[in-house]
Structure 1
Amino acid sequence: KSHVEGVVCGYIIRTIAETATEDEIRSDIEILHKIWQQLQLKLEGSKAGDVIYRDLPLAVRTVRDMVRDNVERLRIDSRETWRLAYELAAEYLPELAERVEYYPGERPIFDLYSIEDEIQKALSRVVPLKSGGHIVIDQTEAMITIDVNTGTFVGRRNQEETLFKTNLEAAQAIARQLRLRNIGGIIIIDFIDMVEIEHQHQVLRALKRGLSKDPAKSYITEMTSLGLLEVTRKRTRESLEHILCEVCPVCHGKAVVKTAQTICYDIFREIMRDSYEDVSYRIIASEKVIDMLLNEEQMSLANLQEFINAEIELQVETLYMPDEYDVVMV
């Protein structure tokens, strides 16, 4: 319970506030109290059907929920959105109002700050590291696995130093990617095996430092002898991938498609299964599959024609995906 300006009221504090400072909690209490006062004023002069309160637009909620002392500036390229965000900050968070800026430039703001590139990186399976190594992030129904690889980075002194530097950089990158992608649930990180125990501790500390700035609560276990680390991160909303992407209509979420050679064998089996006497066939497929039939599988195609005692025509369809094909009677 808290006593604010003569009003006794209660507040629910969620686990996300575990690391919040007293000033941050007090600021949130003051904001909630002001909102409650406004609701009471609106309620007095309202009638049935009037809207008393609605949640704020996304951009304004960002100011309310995410802009803190560590944010230097918040630039908005929509004058209307900027006005709403500025008014909210001026009324509830006056110390942040001066940091809410309107961007009037002709160049798109996403281009100015390379936001599109960052989004593409946050959706990519492979994240390159400055050292030459990379991390690979795979998302499944049960868990997320993150694999750390040295790539082309071999180091100049010794292998242990190379592995340590790659893991150290990867730990910082992983903490950032978890937040950017908003990945929640069970996360298994496969760091490269290190012999030195102190190196393992430093990598673990680097990961903890990176996640300490994350508003989503996370728990980190100790690193195993195989370099495996388990992290659990609280799910706050849908991941970036689920918001921006959908299941591939070609591979249906498998992230792989059949090779051209495999498609050729599928076609051969279909013709053999449904072949009739005195009937010729036309295979309509992508250029890659037709090329395979004319070259590597030329002998197999000739044997099939001899087996069914019929001619088989080939036709390229440029609009077909690599694993799409049709077999028609002619």
Structure 2
Amino acid sequence: MSTVIYTNVTPYETRVAVRENGVLVELMVERSRGRSIVGSLYKGRISRVLPGMQAAFVDVGLERDAFLYVDDVAETLEDEEVEPGEIVPAAPPIQDLLREGQEIMVQITRELGSSKGPRATSHVTIPGRYLVLMPGNSHVGVSRRITDQVERERLRALLAEIPHTGGVIVRTAGEGRERADFLADLAVLESMWRHIESRAAEVGAPCLVHRDLDLALRAARDLSGPTLSEFWIDDTDGYQRIVEFLDRVQPELTSKVKLYRRQLDIFDAFGIAAELDQALQPKVWLRSGGSLVIEQTEALVAIDVNTGRYVGGADLEDTVFRINVEAAREVARQLRLRNLGGIVVVDFIDMEDEGHREALLAEFTTALARDRARSLAGPVGPFGLIQLTRKRTERSLERALTQPCPTCEGLGRVKSPETVCLEIRRALLREAGGGEAIEFAVRAHPEVVRMLSGELRGILVELKERHGLTVRTLEAPDFHPARFEVD
């Protein structure tokens, strides 16, 4: 596999795009005014303990308090650390662990939502290139994405011989690495933790203690690996920082970093801008002529698979299976590309053949395995539904780049002109109150006025002849489509 990273840096935002074998699979945007807080460490103060929810709220100095669940306080193991068959002890009650007014160091694990505060944990993790340092425990773990059992045992044995303060997890990038690589990475991480502890001791709560790397350096840390063929960046200072960073952690990759010097925007030059715009659209066309419709809601992400223009061959079951397999691969890509997380429900086209159902799930699981974010998919349901969860940390691409429509207020729909015309009729009758003949002026959106004067002109005739109301209509181009005024 060949990986190419494109990084666009301006004083106002940083954008990163990732292509694997020529296919765009990830897009990340970080604005200077709203930089991500995921991974940042705060010295906070417990504002509320909620035994009924087994959770607490922590004042970290942001607009909303951070939410801290009991499992994020107790000495439990993270998913990446748990080996198959390992028993994880239950957490004690939250009220036995925390009290209001108590100061606590927390790390943000999920961004602020539209109506929710950030999610936090007291289990601090500091990621490096090959290792993740966990100052709060002594566990040695290996990423579950490293599947070779012999390699897992080698890494565990190697880490057991290296003295370290706190626990460590070997990241996926650590596969095949040797003792010297881990020693160098660990030295940087432990030095960073000492600096964090020192700062935390000096400041009062609530206060930001440590911020994670910016997006460009996070891309260099998390996305650069043996498959990297090119790392393009259009900023001279950023280029220098990435070269220096990789020279410390993976010097063999420094030659892959390229400075983009042309005047044309780097995303335009490499054809990424158009794909970014497409990633904000609900409909995705498949090569076969089928399509996906993706809808992100507060509760979950719903994805519908349609046959579209695809007619296939004579065998309907085979046609449906082919579309579903293509759709499964594209759904996995779109989840990464749009950074969609939480609960996801995919409505595949229903299939009768049990073998096809099993093959579809296997194909989907394989496609999801390429994703850096953890996901877990259930079996194909009786109606063709597959439910899955995908780890959500930062905002989706849609939430990062858009805002609710001021016209429909985020509903995606507005009242039709016909509906508004009928509301106007009822409003006029209320205003008249059954009294004597009276004259009204109605101001409304041009589409509404045109319908009142055209297709539904019978409303004005009826009001005049049956109720004695004379109505003048006035166009108001600046009105919301559902707004009207009666004078």
Name the TM-score, length of structure 2 as normaliser. 0.60
Higher RCO (CA < 8 A, seq sep 6+): 2
Corresponding position of 1:137: 294
Alpha-carbon distance in structure 2 between the residues aligned to 1:66 and 1:210: 18
Using the alignment, how far apart are the partners of 2:425 and 2:196 within structure 1?
Answer: 74
Secondary structure of the equivalent of 2:407? Answer: coil
Aligned match of 2:324: 167
Aligned length: 321
Moved more, 24-33 or 316-325: 24-33
Structure 1 position 270, deviation (Å): 1.3
1:166-205 superposed matches below 5 A? 166-205=323-362
Q: Which moved further from structure 2: 270-279 or 72-81? A: 270-279
SS in 1 for 2:258: strand
Name the SS of the counterpart of 2:479 in structure 1: coil
1:3·1:9 contact (CA, 8 Å) conserved in 2? no
Q: For residue 189 of structure 1, report the CA deviation from its aligned partner.
A: 1.3
Structure 1 residues 271, 41: CA separation in 2 closer, same or farther (over 3 Å shift)? closer
Q: Distance in 2 between matches of 1:193 and 1:98?
A: 49
* 1:103 to 1:264, Cα distance in 2 relative to 1, 3 A: same
SS at match of 1:315: strand
Secondary structure at the aligned position of 1:163 is classed as helix
Query: d(CA) in 2 for partners of 1:291 and 1:244?
Result: 35
- 1:35 deviates by 4.7
Asked if the contact 2:233/2:258 (under 8 Å) is kept, the reply is yes
Distance 1:261 1:188, change over 3 A: same
1:4 & 1:37 partners in 2: Cα distance? 20
Are the counterparts in 1 of residues 463 and 470 from structure 2 also a CA contact under 8 Å?
no
Of 53-62 and 165-174, more deviation after overlay is shown by 53-62
Shift of 1:165: 1.3
Alignment partner, residue 43 of structure 2: none
Cα distance in 2 for partners of 1:311, 1:79 equals 70
**What is the Cα deviation at residue 30 of structure 1?**
3.3
Q: 1:20 to 1:105 in 2, by over 3 A?
A: closer
Equivalents in 1 of 2:390, 2:182: separation in Å?
A: 24
Counterpart check, 1:13 vs 2:13: no
Q: Given residue 316 of structure 1, which amino acid in structure 2 is its aligned partner?
A: E
Structure 1: distance between partners of 2:303 and 2:481: 29
- Give the aligned residue type for 1:10: G
Task: Report the residue type matching 2:222 in the other structure.
Answer: D
Deviation digits for residues 159-213 of structure 1 (CA, Å, limit 9, x no counterpart)? 2222111101100000001111211122111111123333222222221111111
Q: Deviations over 1:52-76 (max 9, x none)?
A: 9753222112111222223321211
| Structure showing the higher helix proportion among its residues | 1
Out of 231, 255, 275, the residue aligned to residue 388 of structure 2 is: 231
Q: 1: CA distance between counterparts of 2:251 and 2:370?
A: 23
Structure 2 letter corresponding to 1:134: S
Q: Distance in 2 between matches of 1:89 and 1:4?
A: 26
Contact 2:442 2:472 in 1 (8 A): yes
- In 2: Cα distance, 1:245 partner to 1:164 partner: 35
Correspondences of 1:289-308 after superposition (within 5 Å): 289-308=448-467
Query: Mind listing any 5+ residue stretches in structure 1 that lack a counterpart?
Result: none
TM-superposed CA distance for 1:13, in Å, is 2.8
Structural RMSD (CA)? 3.0
Q: Which amino acid aligns with 2:164?
A: V
Which AA in structure 2 matches 1:34? V
Instruction: Determine the structure 1 residue equivalent to 2:22.
Output: none
Pair 82,142 (structure 1): closer, same or farther in 2 beyond 3 Å:
same
Where do 5+ consecutive residues of structure 2 fail to align? 1-139, 141-157
Q: In 2, distance between residues paired with 1:25 and 1:137?
A: 43
Aligned residue in 2 for 1:23: 176
TM-score by length of 1: 0.86
Q: Which amino acid aligns with 1:284?
A: R
CA contact (8 A) 1:74 1:99 kept: yes
Distance in 2 (alpha carbons) for counterparts of 1:28 and 1:265: 72
Change (3 A) 1:41 1:305: closer
**How big is each residue's C-alpha offset from its partner over 1:65-106, in whole Å with a ceiling of 9 and x where there is no partner?**
222223321211111222211211112221221222110012
Residue 34 of structure 2 corresponds to residue 34 of structure 1? no
Deviation at 1:310, TM superposition (A): 3.4
Q: For residues 41 and 271 of structure 1, do their structure 2 counterparts lie closer, same or farther at Cα, with a shift above 3 Å needed?
A: closer
Please tell me whether the aligned partners of residues 39 and 53 of structure 1 are also in contact (alpha carbons under 8 angstroms): no
Name the CA shift for 1:285/1:25 in 2 (closer, same or farther; >3 Å): farther
1:256 counterpart residue number: 413
Hey, what's the Cα distance between the residues in 2 that align with 1:112 and 1:165?
A: 34
The CA deviation string for residues 228-263 of structure 1, in whole angstroms up to 9 with x for no partner, is 211111112222222122222222222111111001
What is the distance in 2 between the residues matched to 1:186 and 1:41? 38
Q: Which residue in 2 is equivalent to 1:120?
A: 277
Contact 1:172 1:207 in 2 (8 A): yes
Does residue 93 in structure 1 map to residue 255 in structure 2? no
Q: Distance in 2 between matches of 1:89 and 1:20?
A: 13
Amino acid of the residue matched to residue 317 of structure 2?
E
Q: Of 287, 296, 313, which aligns to 2:446?
A: 287
User: Secondary structure of 1:281's partner?
Assistant: strand
> Which has the larger displacement, 253-262 or 281-290?
281-290
TM-aligned CA deviation for residue 39 of structure 1: 7.7
The worse-fitting range, judged by mean Cα deviation, of 32-41 and 155-164 is 32-41
Paired residue for 2:375?
A: 218
Structure 1 contact 76–102 (Cα < 8 Å) conserved? yes
In the alignment, is residue 78 of structure 1 matched against residue 235 of structure 2?
A: yes
The aligned residue for residue 324 of structure 1 is: 483
Match of residue 312 from structure 1: 471
